[in-house]
């Protein structure tokens, strides 16, 4: 009787351990996925010299939209897809840039303020919004601003464009 009880306890312990490993493994898989609320939006505005005006929307599931407004090769809506790895890289890049903690606008101040080393003439405004994992931030970036902070944000904006391959439509 005792042998059966011990055997039952050992078998039950093994089953519980296997179940816990399965639960932990499924949670590990879930943490590698993007949060369901992930959304990246890039809006490029006009300038005096015919800058392309368009919007890019990238969803957490990899679906994406290019909305050409003016001075683009393809006006209107175009649906496309972005590999999930690229969407994850964009979210990681936003974290690395400390996008969520940074300023809400760049290039709207006098030279030397707000990350601008100097101000140049004609340049478009770009608005970037990132939502992921309950964090959200929108940054207005006027490209007339030159400086390190502005350059870093420009690189992130360019990464969004490359992810969706917008050059074929703009």
Each residue's pLDDT tens digit in the chain (170 positions)?
A: 544 444 333 333 433 333 333 433 333 334 458 999 999 999 999 988 889 999 999 999 999 999 999 999 999 999 999 999 999 999 999 999 999 999 898 887 655 555 677 777 788 999 999 999 999 999 999 998 888 889 999 999 999 999 999 999 98
- The count of other CB atoms within 10 Å of the CB of residue 115 is 21
pLDDT of residue 109: 62
pLDDT of residue 101: 94
Residues 6+ apart with CB under 8 A from 167: 161
**Of 82, 94, 107, 164, whose CA–CA distance to 136 is shortest?**
94
Q: Can you read off the two tokens belonging to residue 164?
A: 């969706």
106-114 contacts: CB < 8 A, separation 24 or more? Answer: 106/139, 106/140, 106/141, 106/142, 106/145, 106/149, 106/150, 106/153, 107/140, 107/141, 107/142, 107/143, 107/144, 107/145, 107/150, 108/140, 108/142, 114/145, 114/149
For the chain, helix, strand, coil in percent to 5 are 40, 30, 35
pLDDT of residue 107: 83
**Any alpha helices (H) in the chain, and if so which ranges?**
2-32, 84-96, 148-164
What letter does residue 31 receive in the DSSP assignment? Answer: H
The CATH architecture one would assign to domain 39-168 is 2-Layer Sandwich (3.30)
Question: What Rg, from alpha-carbon coordinates, does the chain have?
Answer: 23
Any idea where the domains of the chain sit in the sequence? 1-32, 39-168
95-98 contacts: CB < 8 A, separation 24 or more? Answer: 97/152, 97/153, 97/156
Longest CA–CA span in the chain (Å) reads 90
pTM score, whole prediction = 0.77
């Amino acid at each position: 009787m005792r042998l059966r009880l011990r055997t039952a306890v050992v078998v039950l312990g093994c089953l519980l351990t296997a179940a816990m490993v399965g639960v932990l493994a499924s949670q590990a898989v879930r943490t590698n996925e993007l949060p369901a609320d992930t959304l990246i939006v890039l809006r490029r505005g006009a300038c005096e010299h015919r800058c392309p005006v368009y919007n890019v929307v990238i969803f957490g599931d990899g679906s994406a939209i290019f909305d050409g407004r003016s001075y683009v090769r393809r006006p209107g809506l175009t649906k496309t897809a972005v590999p999930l790895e690229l969407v994850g890289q964009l979210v990681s890049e936003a974290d690395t840039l400390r996008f969520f903690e940074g300023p809400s606008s760049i290039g709207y101040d006098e030279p030397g303020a707000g990350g601008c080393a100097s101000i140049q003439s004609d340049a478009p405004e770009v608005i970037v919004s990132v939502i992921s994992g309950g964090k959200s931030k929108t940054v207005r970036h006027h490209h007339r601003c030159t400086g390190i902070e502005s350059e870093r944000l420009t690189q992130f904006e360019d990464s969004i464009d490359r992810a969706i391959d917008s050059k074929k439509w703009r």
